[in-house]
Amino acid sequence: MTQFTRRAILAAAVAAPVTAFAQPGNTGPPGQRVRSGQRIRGARFVDLGNGAVIVDKPVNGLIVEDVKAARLYRFLENTAAKGAPPAPLTRFVLRRITARDLQRGMTRIRHTSHDGLIEDVVAYGGSNGANYCVGFALDDEAHDIIYRRVQAHGFAESARPRDKYWNGDGFTDERGNRAIRYLDCVASGCSDGGFDLKSSDAMLIGCTAHDNKRNFRLWGNGRLERCRSENPRWRGGVGGPAHFSFHGPEARYVIDRPVVRADPANKAPVFLFDTKAPAIIEIHNADIDAPGAPLMVAGGKQIPRIKWVPERSAQKIRTAK
């Protein structure tokens, strides 16, 4: 297995050119700047800064697989240099990668990046989680990206004052992202959202979130099938926990066969609404067992529009009220 330490990267510069990519607040040296068609396999990255793998120009056909990493600021950084053209990452594959002790995140994919597969990747946040740490982040107009059997654990802020809102998410996407697929993914131990999603046409199938403040934090539109939420947990900051929370001006989701489990002492609401316009939600064939929690809490004046299929009384629901 190739060892990518500071010395090894410099020694490999002829075969795999490396360009410095420091930004304020990052720690450690930069990693490997990649090119179109490059394949990185069987490598190990340790003690690096913002990007063990750096995409700062258009890159097509990158494959990174069978890789281990530890003690990084971020594993993959996709940001063009200031004043440079956008740097989309297209038709790429990241698979069978495990990274531990990540300060800021595993991947940040931006610009118009598209047609990507992230598969069998596991990311663990570090004990010194940076503000706004995220396991897997999408931004700008990235679209048509699949996460399959991807896990994000322990992305929790470590330095935010207790009277402020704590971020720290497992998976995020933003307005402008679309057609993102999360298949059999897991998020746990995050100080904010397990899945914090603002994209349009999102699809989550067989995903599990547990021990996050808001296990599923939903702002856009899409469909969740056979997703499971367990025991949300508040770690600090303003705002309380929830299994599914809805936000923004346009939340519209179909939630099919959700499974919710919570201990009797866990009082996090199953469905929390804090939207700027009425959320439009369909809930199909729910299996909810949260005996200490309310089924719904609606904040503000926006009353959600909920359709139960079949009607609520015919679904398997046990809550405090």
Closest to 108 measured CA to CA, from 165, 58, 57, 173: 173
pTM over the 0.85 mark: yes
pLDDT tens digit sequence for 1-41: 544 444 443 333 323 333 223 333 465 777 999 999 999 99
- Residue 321 pLDDT: 81
Using the structure block, give the residue that is written with the tokens 């281990």.
68
Name the residue among 97, 93, 87, 177 with its Cα closest to residue 137. 177
Domain with CATH 2.160.20 in the chain: 130-321
pLDDT (mean) for 187-203: 99
pLDDT of residue 17: 31
SS3 assignment, position 320: coil
Average pLDDT, the chain: 92
pLDDT in tens, 117-126: 999 999 999 9
User: What residues have CB less than 8 Å from 276, skipping those under 6 apart?
Assistant: 248, 249, 302
Predicted local confidence at residue 27, as pLDDT: 58
pLDDT digits (tens, 9 = 90+) for 54-68: 999 999 999 999 999
pLDDT at position 9 is 37
Task: Tell me the average pLDDT across 70-93.
Answer: 97
Query: 299 or 41: whose pLDDT is higher?
Result: 41
Each residue's pLDDT tens digit, 230-244: 999 999 999 999 999
- Which run of H or E residues covers position 9? helix 6-11
pLDDT at res. 26: 62
Q: What is the pLDDT of residues 134-174, one digit of tens each?
A: 999 999 999 999 999 999 999 999 989 989 999 999 999 99
Respond yes or no on whether the N-terminal peptide bond of residue 30 is cis (omega within 30° of 0). Answer: no
Residue 301: per-residue pLDDT: 74
Q: Which among 152, 55, 64 has a CA at the least distance from the CA of 100? A: 152
CATH class as words, domain 130-321: mainly beta
- In total, the chain counts a number of residues equal to 321
